[in-house]
Amino acid sequence: MDEQKNNQQEQQEEARPGRRATAQIEAIKSDMEKVTRTVNLLIKITVFVVCVCLILGGIYFLFKQWIIVCVFCTPAVIVSLLFLGGLMVVRPEERFLIEFLGQAYCVKKPGLRWVSPILMRKRMVAYTWKQPVDLFPERRYPNGVHIDLKKGGKTQLVEPILWVRMDHVGQDLEGESVLRMAYSVDNWKEAVTEGGEDALRTCLNNLMVEEVLSATHDSSRASWWEAVRENFPALEEVIKSYGLVPVSLTISDFNWDPAVVASRQKVFEEERSIAVAELSKKAAKDEVAQQAMELGGKYAEMVRILAQKRYGGDMGKAEKAAMELMRLDKAAQSGGLIQALSDGDGLSSSVISFITSIAKSIQGKEKTTNSEE
């Protein structure tokens, strides 16, 4: 039983895309070594033959044997012209994969390089910078793609792009990454597009409208690639088997279904009405607190003046008189002044008149202060 389990695990490991691609790339690298030895031998033979022809042509040139000179020098001239015609410049962001007679030969790095114009050809140009891979392109989906969200709702993606970069840039395994891009899959862009579309669709199918909206406006999220990687952890390994590294996934916008927009507008209006009610409640509390502060300030000022000018410093009598006036003022505002006078402590009219004049003087000071401000 244990042996069967181990065999099954080994078969599953071998069936993984990364493992299959690695075995294929190792075989190609082994063939490259043989091709490199063959090319190096041909170059040495060619250089030797050209040198011999030039030497013999020079000897016969001294003896003025022009026909023989032409016989030996013509091949050397042709080979020299072919050599000059094979020179090319590789830019810093480019890596050229060269094939010799249909087999992988080498990866040309930046600088002045030579490629045989007859026996060699450029299989692929790989770029080291970040490259965009369009998901759900218009050429494949002319009418657009509608994504069904969790618990109802549809949306259409605007310019979804998966950004990838060549793996192992500037490292010893850089050449292997180029080989993977060329030979591990027929067309790495098409393969990345299909994998990215399936993963993004599945990711959005598991999200509700509110979750998509909150994720869209989440400033802490680097890109949608994080959400996709959570749902499809194997996708990153598959893309790496192509010699690439996924960097980010961006979506410019969402074209929402009209029903979703209408329901979202309704939710927004309800949230706004709740917010307005809370603000009104807070404003009412602030107004009451402000009135209490103003009332407390007037009361303290009346107590101070009464104590100094009416009751000879007796704070108890001053507080009692000020409290009585405030009670009468409140009763007057509510229309129950007569009842308040009958229920009061029987302050004399002179005291009430004096306190009233004090209140008016306090109000006059407040108006003067407000006008100055």
Residue 23 maps to a domain:
no
Residue 282 maps to a domain:
no
Q: Which residues contact 133 (CB under 8 A, 6 or more apart)?
A: 161, 162, 163, 164, 189, 192, 193, 196
Q: Total structural domains in the chain?
A: 3
Residue 294 identity (one-letter amino acid): E
3-state DSSP call for residue 348?
coil
Q: Considering only CA atoms, which of 104, 205, 193 is closest in space to residue 150?
A: 205
Burial (CB count <10 Å: 0-12, 13-18, 19+), residue 65? middle
Domain boundary (127, 153, 177) is at 127
Lowest average pLDDT, out of 48-52, 103-107, 346-350, goes to: 346-350
| pLDDT score at 127 | 95
Task: Provide the residue range defining the domain that includes 221.
Answer: 131-256
| pLDDT score at 113 | 94
Domain boundary (79, 94, 127) is at 127
Q: Which residues contact 206 (CB under 8 A, 6 or more apart)?
A: 150, 231
Residue 284 maps to a domain:
no
| pLDDT score at 136 | 93
pLDDT tops 70 at residue 287: no
Residue 193 maps to a domain:
yes
| pLDDT score at 1 | 47
The pTM for the full model equals 0.64
| pLDDT score at 122 | 93
Residue 212 maps to a domain:
yes
Give the CB-side neighbour count of residue 42, counting CA atoms within 13 A.
Answer: 12
pLDDT in tens, 310-350: 666 677 777 777 676 666 666 555 554 445 444 555 555 55
Q: Which residues of 197-208 are buried (b: 16+ CB within 10 A; e: fewer)?
A: bebbbebbeebe
Structure-token match 């993004």, residue found: 200
How many C-beta atoms lie closer than 10 Å to residue 310's C-beta? Answer: 16
- 116 and 144: one domain? no
pLDDT tops 60 at residue 26: yes
| pLDDT score at 284 | 61
- 248 and 142: one domain? yes
Whole-Å CA distances, 359 to 223, 293, 314, 321, 354: 66, 16, 19, 12, 9
- 156 and 116: one domain? no
| pLDDT score at 95 | 96
Bigger pLDDT: 320 vs 236: 236
Rounded CA separation 362/87 (Å): 98
- 240 and 156: one domain? yes
Question: Ranked by mean pLDDT, which of 94-98, 136-140, 364-368 comes out on top?
Answer: 94-98
Give mean pLDDT, residues 295-309.
Answer: 67
Residue 149 maps to a domain:
yes
- 328 and 248: one domain? no
Show the CA angle centred on residue 338, arms to residues 334 and 340, nearest 5°: 70
Bigger pLDDT: 20 vs 206: 206
Contact 228, 199 (CB under 8 A): yes
Q: Considering only CA atoms, which of 189, 205, 187, 188 is closest in space to residue 135?
A: 189
Residue 152 maps to a domain:
yes
Q: Considering only CA atoms, which of 90, 88, 165 is closest in space to residue 129?
A: 165
Contact 231, 203 (CB under 8 A): yes
DSSP one-letter string for 101-162 = TTEEEEEEPSEEEE--TTTEEEEEEEESS-EEEESS-TTT-TT--EEEPTTS-EEEEEEEEE
- 118 and 141: one domain? no
| pLDDT score at 356 | 58
Domain boundary (98, 127, 156) is at 127
- 103 and 159: one domain? no
- 139 and 222: one domain? yes
Residue 17 maps to a domain:
no
3-state DSSP call for residue 164?
strand
pLDDT confidence band for 49 (50 / 70 / 90): very high
Rounded CA separation 184/97 (Å): 14
- 155 and 198: one domain? yes
- 112 and 140: one domain? no
- 142 and 237: one domain? yes
CATH of the domain at 237: 3.30.479.30
User: Which residues on neighbouring strands pair with residue 113, listed in sequence order?
Assistant: 88
Element (H, E) at 359: helix 349-372
Contact 212, 237 (CB under 8 A): no
- 175 and 249: one domain? yes
Give the CB-side neighbour count of residue 329, counting CA atoms within 13 A.
Answer: 15
